[in-house]
Structure formats: C-alpha cells, structure tokens
C-alpha cells in the first residue's frame, strides 16, 4: 500500500473518532442550548473537520 494512502486513511480515522467524541459530549436536548453555545459547537465541529 502506498504510504500517502495509509496516512490519509489514518487521518480519516482520526477525524471520524474526533467527531464521534464531539457528538458524544454534546447534550441531546438542543432546546437547552443558547444561541452562543450552538454557534460555538458548530464552530468546533467545523474546525475539527478541516
């Protein structure tokens, strides 16, 4: 297997794991979030996917 393909596979797995952890830390009741908290959560997910 090409080394760049392996690195990309590892990066994708790390991204998937990070998004899973973020999803687990966010409470499941979106009504309890204030707009600023929702914006910060969206920003954190957006930054982590870059």
User: Per-residue b/e over 7-32, b at no fewer than 16 CB within 10 Å?
Assistant: eeeeeeeeeeeeeeeeeeeeeeeeee
Residue 48, pLDDT score: 76
Copy the structure tokens of residue 17.
Answer: 């794991």
Dist. CA 38–CA 29, nearest whole Å: 11
If you search the block for the tokens 């596979």, which residue do you land on?
Answer: 9
Question: Does residue 31 contact residue 38 with C-beta atoms inside 8 Å?
Answer: no
pLDDT tens figures, 4-40: 989 999 999 998 898 888 888 877 765 666 788 878 8
């Amino acid at each position: 297997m090409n080394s760049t393909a392996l690195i990309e596979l590892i990066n994708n797995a790390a991204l998937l794991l990070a998004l899973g952890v973020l999803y687990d830390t966010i409470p499941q009741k979106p009504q309890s979030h204030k707009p600023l908290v929702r914006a910060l959560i969206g920003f954190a997910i957006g930054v982590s996917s870059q």
